[in-house]
Amino acid sequence: MISCPLPTWLETLAPMAAAMENPLAVASNVKHLPRHKLFMSFAAHSKRSGKLQVVSVHQRVKAASSLYSDCDVDVQKPWKTADARLVLEDGSIWKAKSFGASGTQVGEVVFNTSLTGYQEILTDPSYTGQFVLMTNPHIGNTGVNPHDEESSQCFLAGLVIRSLSICTSNWRCTESLGDYLAKRNIMGIYDVDTRAITRRLRQDGSLIGVLSTEESQTDEDLLEIAHKWKIVGVDLISGVSCKAPVVWSQKTHSEWEFHKDQNQVENFHVVAYDFGIKHNILRRLASYGCKVTVVPSTWPASETLKVKPDGVLFSNGPGDPAAVPYAVETVKEIIGKVPVFGICMGHQLLGQALGGKTFKMKFGHHGGNHPVGNLRNGRVEISAQNHNYAVDPASLPAGVEVTHINLNDKSCAGLACAELNLMSLQYHPESSPGPHDSDPAFREFMELMKASKK
């Protein structure tokens, strides 16, 4: 509680007082007045003076501060000041305000162009080890709720946004974004120039960064951390995969089901390898009539084939596909024996298992608005994407068809091989968040399994 009278109001009114002939005399006489009378007194004095007096900024601040310089309390500003830094490996330092958890965290900075769905992005395991910068400036206005989770926890390293909403306005909201991140020990920063950082990432590529709220860490210390930390060649899948097989039966809730007229009569058994699988991939499979068994990333191919599934799904996941050779070997042992569907990381692993190569993209694809061209039917899909690696189509053997391309950069976005009964997409057909243009891919997988049973 501030014991000295109206210090912050006098600071606010300093520019008005500067236009008066004798602002301090007026202020000293009215500093105990109610707020509206204080304004009226300044206005009346200005009218009586009949002239304007120019006072320097230094004089105004000194005059206003002298009125309460004898107060023996700490006067705090009514707004949060910058208390965090983002230090990038290129040496740039970005001052910001913190929310969520505090401390020091290192990660790869990527930008996401989605306009909505930040909670699904926060809980997407594919963002493990990354700071997600949202290009949409206003984040947090819908809060969070327990129904939009894409996994059991937040896996990303941190969240970088321009403007943090000071309030939430959504009937489904149960918690603010800041409280949500704090409980999950996830760091966030705001009031930082996300447009400038995005331009830098587009020009220079994804950069390693360090977030810190600790004053004991110098800029040089944080830069050294950024230079030493590596994400390329690191197995990130093992840290996000389940530890034992589980059966998934939950379908897309009827409130959100957008294909209400489809007749789900199939009863396929699908084994889904969890490389960081999103819940809505599993819900879409269940909604299409599948019994789904989720297995860990290290689950032996022999155990999978022993249960004679109708199909196998290789899921999305974080990091470098070249860093998980054990997963590539598993894929090799399964393809050709049962119908296969690969999504994102699963697509890249299929590419490698078929003899192709993968490479790290400059800044990757992250967002819910990427156009994809279906080369089979000429259809354009607006897709949800999240990956930093891609398959090199020139490295693929004969018989493997590129079915989809990203229309922004012409990179490979889908594969198929009729002989081996496999299909894959580099993006997310479950689209959570994102448009539902690509949901028919699940129907194609059903048809692939149905045809193999004949």
Among candidate residues 89, 150, 381, 430, the one labeled active-site is 430
As to burial, measured by CB atoms within 10 angstroms (0-12 exposed, 13-18 middle, 19+ buried), residue 454 is exposed
User: For the chain, what is the largest distance between any 2 Cα atoms, rounded to a whole number of angstroms?
Assistant: 97
Quick one: three-class SS letters along 138-188?
A: EECCCCECCCCCCCCCCCECEEECCEECCCCCCCCCCECHHHHHHHCCCEE
Three-state DSSP at 291 gives: strand
The H-or-E segment that residue 414 falls in is: strand 412-417
Beta-strand ranges (E) seen in 309-379 are 311-314, 340-343, 357-374
> Taking a C-beta distance cutoff of 8 angstroms, is the pair 437, 382 a contact?
yes
Count Cβ atoms within 10 A of the Cβ of residue 267 and give its class: 0-12 exposed, 13-18 middle, 19 or more buried. Answer: exposed
Helix 23-30 crosses helix 57-66 at what angle (to 10 degrees)? 30
**Gap between the Cα atoms of 122 and 446, Å rounded:** 30
CA atoms within 13 A on the CB side of 319: 25
The C-alpha atoms of residue 189 and residue 97 are separated, in whole angstroms, by 5
Instruction: Annotate 136-173 with b (16+ C-beta within 10 A) or e (fewer).
Output: beebbbbbbeeebbbbeebbbbbbbbbbbbeeeeeeee
Distance, in Å, from the CA atom of 49 to the CA atom of 30, rounded to the nearest integer, reads 17
Set 154, 344, 412, 417: catalytic member: 344
Three-state DSSP state, 422 = strand
Beta-strand ranges (E) seen in 236-356 are: 246-248, 268-274, 290-296, 311-314, 340-343
Active site residue 430: yes
- Residue whose C-alpha is closest to residue 149's, from 275, 347, 283, 255: 283
The question of whether 344 is a catalytic residue gets the answer: yes
For residues 296 and 293, give the distance between their C-alpha atoms in angstroms, rounded to a whole number: 10
Other C-beta atoms closer than 10 Å to the C-beta of 202 total 12
How far, in Å, CA of 93 to CA of 91, rounded? 6
Tell me the catalytic residues: 344, 428, 430
